[in-house]
Amino acid sequence: MISAGFAASVAQGILMIALAPLFAGVLCKLKARMQRRSGCGLLQPYRDVAKLFRKAEKVSDSASWLFRAVPYACFGSMALLSFMTPFMLAEVAAPFGDLVAMVYVFTLYRFMMVLGGLEGGSVFGGMGSSRETMMSVLIEPSLLLAVMALAGLAGGGTDMGGIPGSLIGMGVIVLSPALILAAASFFITLLAENARIPFDNPSTHLELTMVHEGMLLEYSGRGLGLMELSSMMRLTIFASMLCSLFFPWGIALSPALPDLAAGLASVLLKMLAAMAAIALIESYLAKYRLFKLPNLLTASFALSLLAMISLYIL
């Protein structure tokens, strides 16, 4: 017999996958409005992915079977994280919804992306892969320290399903410098991991400035559609972690229908605020030069380190 909590957790994972293109459309729409443009429709990402799935796939003669496998590995890793991450319900479907495991799955995604850029055999794909590898050296320590500070604040456990309830149970005392510093570090990591301004320009067409998009140049058809959908899912998962783990107020702690409805309304409002913050940053900042990016990533690491110091020493 499947419990109501497990069924609701599975449904929330499927809902995250289904809503990922919608959140990408909301972000594009908000960004366009802030720049006094009409922008595309909210459902345009769905149409774009569907169009790519219908197109024929062209593969370079120099690419191996690994080139075709990378999009499926990227999509599979993000689908796994969708079932590991709280969204509207604190309980998660995956029995290993662990913060440390989450960091490793994100690393697997990045590793497969780098392999895909190299396997294509293009110069710009290799350039994007090398830049992604350089950035990951500074991204992963910041991400790991930020989530460890969060776990320490919640009582030391790294189970993502138990963190929201622990933080809510602590009351207003949880709004400490450790939480604010860790959340700020995590937000900077969110921008870096999802190739957003100022780290990368997701809408650029200049090959020499590409990081994330440079690794996708050789993909087409279904492979490109899976890669684009995986990128949308990664943005949704990061934003969901920020909203449901660092600021869990409003999330459903039980699978009762009234609690789930309130949790869904709460997380949608918080996700809208997160998308608005990203759109605001992208509308008022320009992409940084490549060799200035380590400065911002070092600042993210310093914030997460200060969060740990604030938690365990101060």
pLDDT tens per residue, range 278-294: 999 988 887 778 778 88
Return the SS3 of 159: strand
Lowest mean pLDDT among 232-246, 247-261, 266-280: 247-261
Q: How far is 196 from 51, CA to CA, in rounded Å?
A: 24
pLDDT at residue 123, as a whole number? 77
Q: Which residue has the higher pLDDT, 265 or 91?
A: 265
Mean pLDDT of all residues in 192-200: 84
pLDDT at residue 2, as a whole number? 62
Q: How far is CA 135 from CA 9, 67, 91, 236, 307, in A?
A: 33, 22, 32, 21, 22
Q: How far is 141 from 136, CA to CA, in rounded Å?
A: 9
For 114-160, the pLDDT digits (tens) are 888 888 877 777 787 888 888 888 888 899 999 999 998 888 778 88
In the chain, the percentage of residues whose pLDDT exceeds 90 is 43
Q: How far is 131 from 118, CA to CA, in rounded Å?
A: 12
Lowest mean pLDDT among 62-71, 93-102, 172-181, 202-211: 202-211
Q: Which residue has the higher pLDDT, 179 or 95?
A: 179
pTM summary value: 0.92
Return the SS3 of 71: helix
